[in-house]
Amino acid sequence: MISKAIIHICCAIIIIVSSIDVYWLSHNRDNILQYEKNPLGLYLIELDQGEVSLFIACKFLGTYIVVGILYGLFPRYPRKILAVSVAVAAVQILLLIYLWYAPLNFGRIIQ
């Protein structure tokens, strides 16, 4: 029962941080090419002629796929999926910390 609660919390963290990341991306769309570190993200932005729409769509799709896989495989591999979900949630928290202190400071945007 505890492991189900943990996976729910981890998936909520993943979704919330992903949503904040998408908000930050759309808010900084004019300067994003200067600050985006993800080579795949840069490729998607360039593929969309400098727009962030395709990148945002891929971020949402990726988040849905990850959460779907975690929930879908949890009944079969509960220990492994629990470890993976905690790791992914931890990386998402690190991303949130990075966004807070990034050059286009997300902390300043929401204040």
Instruction: List, for residues 55-110, the tens digit of each pLDDT value.
Output: 999 999 999 999 999 999 999 999 999 999 999 999 999 988 887 876 666 555 55
**pTM score, whole prediction:** 0.84
Burial (CB count <10 Å: 0-12, 13-18, 19+), residue 47: exposed
Q: Output 1 or 8, whichever has higher pLDDT.
A: 8
d(CA 86, CA 48) in angstroms, rounded, equals 33
Q: Output 1 or 19, whichever has higher pLDDT.
A: 19
